[in-house]
């Protein structure tokens, strides 16, 4: 396959699919029965609450999302590091795999730092509010 006269790289087809994030409508589709069931959950997880007709995820689910995101970030960084060592020692046959992994790890790290900074800024604003 060619794109503008350039032949496509064979390894590009083997890239993993980008994970999908839940949309706001998916988060808001929880019913009141689901919220009542979560409230009676034996694990003590916080129940989802309705605000202006839209329901939000509980703190436990949010914590799980953060943990999963950080685990994925760590996986990307580990893959990039392993491919960097392979490229440096000459064991790698395709330098483009390392380049792609390094770019993915860098972008994911920048996103995580940006989200952290936004969260800290929001926390500081909340703490500076007068009651």
pLDDT at 4 over 50: no
* Residues 7-35: tens digit of each pLDDT: 444 444 444 555 565 554 554 444 444 44
Inter-axis angle of helices 59-89 and 95-127, to 10 degrees? 150
In a domain, 34, yes or no: no
In a domain, 26, yes or no: no
Question: Rounded distance, CA 60 to CA 54, Å?
Answer: 18
Taking each continuous run of H as one helix and of E as one strand, the counts in the chain are 4, 4
In a domain, 65, yes or no: yes
Range of the domain at 92: 59-131
pTM attached to this predicted model: 0.52
In a domain, 126, yes or no: yes
In a domain, 22, yes or no: no
Number of domains present in the structure of the chain: 1
In a domain, 107, yes or no: yes
In a domain, 16, yes or no: no
In a domain, 72, yes or no: yes
């Amino acid at each position: 396959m060619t794109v503008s006269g350039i032949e496509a790289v064979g390894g590009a087809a083997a890239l993993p699919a980008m994970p999908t994030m839940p949309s706001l409508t998916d988060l808001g589709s929880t019913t009141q029965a689901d919220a009542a069931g979560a409230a009676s959950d034996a694990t003590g997880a916080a129940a989802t609450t309705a605000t202006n007709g839209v329901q939000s995820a509980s703190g436990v689910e949010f914590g799980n999302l953060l943990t999963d995101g950080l685990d994925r970030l760590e996986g990307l960084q580990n893959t990039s590091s392993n491919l960097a060592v392979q490229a440096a020692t000459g064991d790698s046959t395709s330098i483009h795999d390392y380049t792609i992994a390094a770019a993915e790890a860098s972008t994911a790290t920048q996103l995580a730092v940006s989200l952290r900074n936004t969260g800290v800024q929001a926390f500081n604003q909340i703490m500076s509010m007068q009651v």
